[in-house]
Amino acid sequence: MSLVSGAYNFRDTGGLPALGGTTRHGVLFRSGNLANVDAEGLVAMRGLRLRRIVDLRDEDEVVRSPSRGVDGLETIRVPLFLGSVASFFERDMSLGELYGAIIDDSADRVVDVVRAVIGDQPVLVHCTVGKDRTGVTVALSLLAAGVDPDAVVADYARTETLLPASRNDAVITRIREVYPGATRIEELATKSPAPVMRALIDRVETVFGSPTDYLRAHGMSDDEIVELRRVLVGNR
């Protein structure tokens, strides 16, 4: 169930097992877009006392679906795709290819997201669905903070259980009308399979040594890594 009515997949990353403790509740939230937050959802959002929102969508997505309930909140825009969302359906990419493109082509922006999480809390990281861009950046943030990889994978995989079937059917139908030749629409639009995140973690570890080393390789300092862990993880 979403914490905020009208926003898909809105949840707290607190309570995950980590080295030295568990992730803190009420610090890092993740979700899909906020365009359809209803009156009940606005009350719930205010109750979270958010201080910062990190929006990973591109300009077209923001214009098409402007956020509700963010007046007075600091919003940091970090468009994570170098191409448009539509281009991934045009190229008929797999989720694995999409995530590889994020960590390869948008590494500096991934670091920007993690720095935004460190900078102020409670913080919400979101994209359109809260599945892919949010999934990758939140996963790397949690892993670098020392969260158990199995817990990170499970948190990522949980997303598809929170997307209503009615939403999925409507989205798939709409995309098929525009890209009738695409074969991976359902995967790209609705799925968050654990093996895909495990493969991404394996790739990062193979190339860089660890998710922490990935962030270091793209500009994060040791002090920032320490602060990330302090912010996200509390003692048992």
| 3 state SS for 197-233 | HHHHHHHHHHHHCCHHHHHHHCCCCHHHHHHHHHHHE
- Tell whether 228 is covered by a domain: no
Domain range for residue 107?
A: 11-222
- Tell whether 38 is covered by a domain: yes
Give the per-residue pLDDT at 233.
Answer: 97
Average pLDDT over residues 207-214: 98
- Tell whether 83 is covered by a domain: yes
**Phi, psi torsion values for 123, nearest 5 degrees:** -130, 140
Question: Could you tell me the pLDDT band of residue 40, with boundaries at 50, 70 and 90?
Answer: very high
- Tell whether 3 is covered by a domain: no
Average pLDDT over residues 83-98: 77
Q: Which two tokens stand for residue 210?
A: 């660890």
Least reliable range by pLDDT among 60-69, 151-160, 219-228: 60-69
Give the per-residue pLDDT at 20.
Answer: 84
Q: Give CA torsion, residues 220, 221, 224, 226, to 10 deg.
A: 120
**What secondary structure letter does DSSP report for 147?**
B
Distance CA 157, CA 231 (A): 24
Q: Give CA torsion, residues 115, 116, 121, 127, to 10 deg.
A: -130
- Tell whether 89 is covered by a domain: yes
Q: Is the pLDDT of residue 168 over 60?
A: yes
- Tell whether 229 is covered by a domain: no
DSSP bridge partners of 147: 18
- Tell whether 193 is covered by a domain: yes
When computed from its CA atoms, the radius of gyration of the chain, rounded to whole angstroms, is: 17
Residue 27 Rama label (left phi>0; alpha psi -120 to 50; beta): alpha
Average pLDDT over residues 209-228: 98
Helix runs in 125-190, H state only: 133-144, 149-157, 165-178, 185-190
Q: Is the pLDDT of residue 170 over 60?
A: yes
Average pLDDT over residues 32-41: 95
Give the per-residue pLDDT at 1.
Answer: 76
- Tell whether 177 is covered by a domain: yes
- The total of structural domains in the chain comes to 1
Residue recorded with tokens 């990330």: 228
Average pLDDT over residues 147-168: 96
Q: Cβ distance 122 to 13 under 8 Å? A: no
CATH code: domain of residue 53: 3.90.190.10
Q: Is the pLDDT of residue 83 over 60?
A: no
Distance CA 11, CA 179 (A): 31
Average pLDDT over residues 142-150: 98
Average pLDDT over residues 106-124: 97
